[in-house]
A = this chain, B = another copy of it.
Amino acid sequence: MYPPSLSESQGLWLASQIQDWELNHGTMLKRIHTQTAHNVLCYPVAATMFPTLFPRVQFDRARELQSIYNELYCVLATEEQWIYDNIKDLFPVDPFAAALWEIHEKVKANGGYVQDISAGIFRSDYMLQGEGVEMGGDESFDPRSDLELKQVEFNTIACAGGCHANKVVDMHRHLARTGAYNSLTDDNLINLPVLPPNNNIHSLATSLAQAHEVYGPPKSNTTETAILFVVQPNNFNVADERPIEYALWDSNIPAYRVEWGNDVLKHTSLSATKELLFHPPWQTSAKPVEISVIYYRAGHEPHEYDQTGQDLRFRLEQSRAIKCPSILAHILTFKKIQQSLAVPGVVEQFLPADKVAAVRKTFVPMYPLDTSETGLHARSLATDPDRSENYILKPSLEGGGHNVFGADIPAFLATVPPEAWSAYVLMQRIASPLVGNMLKSSQGIEEAAAVVSELGVFGACLWRCTRAGEGEVLRNETVGWSLKTKFADVDEMSVVKGFGCFDTPLLC
């Protein structure tokens, strides 16, 4: 039986080890509304008490797939016309898509892009589909089973969780090396060789550092180049951003932060030749820094695109800085794009046949909710309380949190004017094998026989897109991963919002 049943004192002991580790390694969230100039209250990020069983074959496979997905999205990011064709129907119903495209057009109309290189830090998320887990004595997935990796979504902007994932894996590995798990389980199951190490912080920083290097020396009348993190104001989750910034400084690469909003407009400017100059807000004198790379950890949510948001994104996109990501790559994160790629014949335009087969195996059925034939079929599924049970309704937004699940879909759609339905896609739910664990969060510790995990794989890319639309991939690497686990009966997965835990796979 995995994980073992703990006595009360064993559970308390294990939980206190986890809390102390997290406190000491900054695996913390700020408690909302507690920050003042002089103080802030923090609490540990949710983490599983034990690593969660996960098949090694699928763990390795997901990481192998990343280079193919990286390639696909790099190529797509240079396919302006294809992107337009696939999202233009959103414009009337999705102001966010319209705003992003308008900024793109505005850059083109104002002299065009002066930087032909783009960077991407992507994260492809998977769940296991199928049964085949043996919950008996041998604690492993049945290799004869038909478990498959299915893609939940592909994220191209502000991909989060990397730093927490790194540290929570370090935590589970620490507990393993102390022998704590094995003495609790009284067998020899949880050892370092089955808990893969995670170096996200180093590798994400390295990815940005490489873009910084490609940018080269300053082009303006400045002496220093630096990476600019564009972040959300008052973020309670700085512990997922700051470690990357500190790691860059450890490599002698300057990295500054600016908050999305007026601060960007106030503290940046464009030189005559469109270098992006950052004027650090704390400076008493004017010594601007030339920005080599813009790393967006903001700008991925619709509410951020008021007039100020549009103006600042326009300024940043116009600039010579390498954007991570540029606006076309950002748009690729829309669920509408994921759904378009699932249409037969589409991926085939962009990848060779063997790679097509590999990515297609990870697709689950996805439908537009428009008035095409497929769309009408999807509408019939989505409005039927029984048939909608197996589906998720997703708006074309980055990240989770706005999805509608199963039987809730018909009632939800009844509140949306049908002409706006095409802003959504309908995706089949992924039925994951159920395993056991204990989940610890600020809300409590709960033991569950049925938890499911989501494996995210981080990819880092650099690509060139000439004004003529010619593309070239300069860098394509798999740089890390994160595992998140939640109760099977909870629909949403977002650790920092209180659903799910960071986790480590126990490879079997």
Contacts and interface: CB of A to CB of B under 8 A. Distances in A.
B282 A242 contact: no
Contacts of A442: 38-39
Interface string A11-34: 111111001110111101011000
5 contacts: A13-B281, A26-B26, A39-B441, A41-B41, A180-B280
Given A42-B43, A174-B249, A442-B38, A23 B30 contact: yes
B285 A183 contact: yes
Contact of A440 (B19, B38, B44, B249): B38
A10 interface: yes
B284 A183 contact: yes
A186 B285 contact: yes
Contacts of A31: 41
A468 interface: no
A179 B38 CA distance: 22
A38 B15 contact: yes
Given A39-B43, A39-B44, A183-B285, A243 B19 contact: no
Contacts of A490: none
Interface in A230-246: 238-239, 242-243, 246
A307 interface: no
A186 B249 contact: no
A37 interface: yes
> How many copies of the shown chain assemble into the complex?
2
Contact of A38 (B30, B40, B183, B443): B443
B24 A239 contact: yes
Contacts of A179: 254, 280
B11 A37 contact: yes
Interface residues of A, number: 58
B37 A445 contact: yes
Interface centre among A23, A31, A440 (most CB of B within 10 A): A23
Closest 9 CB pairs of A and B: A24-B26, A183-B283, A186-B284, A39-B442, A38-B445, A24-B242, A13-B282, A41-B41, A42-B42
Contact of A23 (B20, B28, B186): B28
Contacts of A282: 9-10, 13-14, 180, 183-184
A26 B42 CA distance: 10
Contact of A280 (B174, B183, B239, B246): B183
A14 B281 CA distance: 11
B13 A246 contact: no
Given A178-B256, A180-B282, A184-B284, 9 more contacts: A10-B284, A20-B242, A38-B443, A40-B43, A178-B249, A179-B280, A180-B280, A183-B280, A183-B284
Nearest to A284: B186
A216 interface: no
B184 A9 contact: no
A177 interface: yes
Interface in A36-79: 37-44
Interface in A482-499: none
A106 interface: no
A201 to B, nearest CB: 10
Nearest to A49: B38
A444 interface: yes
A186 to B, nearest CB: 4
A9 B100 CA distance: 32
A467 interface: no
Given A37-B15, A178-B249, A282-B184, A28 B42 contact: yes
Contacts of A243: 24
Interface string A446-462: 00000000000000000
